[in-house]
Amino acid sequence: MTKTETLFYNFNLFDGRTSENETDAWFVVDENGQLKDRGTGHHQNFENEVNLGGRYVMPGFINVHCHITSHPDKFDGGFNVSETEAAVFGYQSLQQLLKSGVTFVRELGTSYDVDIKLKRLMKAGQLNHVPELQPSGRAFSMTGGHGDAPHAAFLVDSPDEMRKSVRQGLKNGAEVIKMMATGGVMTPGDFMADPQLSVEEMRTGVVEAHHKGRRAAAHAEGNPGIQNALDAGVDSIEHGFYVNEQEARQMVQQGTYLTPTLVAELVIPKYGHGVLPEWEIKKAADALDDTYKNLSKAFELGVKFTCGTDAGTPFNGFDKTPAEFELLTKLGMTPAQAYQCSSLNSAELCQINEDHGTLEVGKFADFQVLDADPLQDPKAVQQGDKEVYLHGHREF
């Protein structure tokens, strides 16, 4: 029993692995911020004790798809800003993510490699109230492709260019590689059904990422781009709105994850009228019904879903992660299954599942404290004044 260990007690625990709460739970967090012991009912006494007053404890969220330098209220994607502005905005975005309960962020496309640079500052202990971060740096797109904007993308037009650029990105400090397999919602004249990077180009990116032990993700909203990305062997399909049965089966077989980013798609037709161009709203609205049908089917077929919100896209702020879970339940998931997209699947996708994701002994004490039971109602996680703990320290 040392001074730096803390006992948390008197709460209901959803650990992110099981589908039920443990009542009258307690755990001990050690000096490294990791769970040392856990149980229910009777416990030892400690010098540092926190009584959580019968509330609900669950893991902090892992959001695997964010753009911390993209401004949700500036509809050019925030690309026309200086590096200084992007960096300050990125820092604030991270703080907002943590406040909303996100304790680990995977970036998937950042201007000026701001995420890589912020991570260096984080490691040096120079940033406060920020979640852990897996940076991607710039994304990889074809000339004229999705996200082709100054400082935001490597433009590659052959497997050789992909090889060179991915090697450069990894050298710069990228810990995950993001490639554009299709067009998308946000760029005019750029549609979800447009195939963009070729199978060969993406396969080269996957190979180079895997050689360094890193994962490769593909932005793929429609077909045939989803199929192309799967044939290239990517580790996750991002968005996947038009995933079909054959592709879903291939994903199950290959162990490919799917990040549906439902909240990103929902907010555009909801808030966009009068603000965004009508073509953009129409593209998003047209896709909504199909999306829920296709993704429900993919979930039924056994595809592993992750939690990502595409934060930074229009109206899609850095406080929206909690809203994603209510939408995941609309795909046929129970609330526990929806949270497991984050606690289990997102942790595996980010290769951090050994010490992150669930609240089990040996893992980091990254958790949130809620007034209402999240397993009864997925809206419980949307509580604005929730408590958020990172490595056992209260951050918000």
Binding residues for Zn ion, rule: CB under 5 A, are 310
Nearer to Zn ion, 58 or 179 (CB): 179
Letter for the amino acid at 331? L
Residue among 310 and 387 whose Cβ is closer to Zn ion: 310
The minimum distance between CB 304 and Zn ion, in angstroms, equals 19
Nearest one of 16, 26, 63, 101 to 386, comparing CA atoms: 101
The token pair that represents 177 in the structure block: 């590689």
Name the residue number minimizing CB distance to Zn ion. Answer: 310
Least CB distance to Zn ion at residue 107 (A): 10
Nearer to Zn ion, 15 or 113 (CB): 113
Q: Is 215 helix (H, G, I), strand (E, B) or coil?
A: strand
Shortest separation between residue 353's beta carbon and Zn ion, angstroms:
23
Nearest to Zn ion of 162, 311 (CB atom):
311
11 vs 257, which CB is nearer to Zn ion?
257
| DSSP classification of residue 185 | S
Contact 322, 381 (CB under 8 A): yes
Least Cα distance to 318 among 188, 133, 172, 76 occurs for 133
Contact call for residues 109 and 86 (beta carbons, < 8 A): no
Nearer Cβ to Zn ion (208/310): 310
For residue 26, report the phi and psi dihedrals to the nearest 5 degrees.
-150, 155
Closest separation between CB of residue 147 and Zn ion, Å? 8
Give, for 348, the enclosing helix (H) or strand (E).
helix 347-349
Residue 95 exposure: Cα atoms within 13 Å on the Cβ side? 10
Least Å from the CB of residue 312 to Zn ion: 7
CB of 392 to Zn ion, least distance (A): 31
Are 273 and 254 within 8 A, CB to CB?
Answer: no
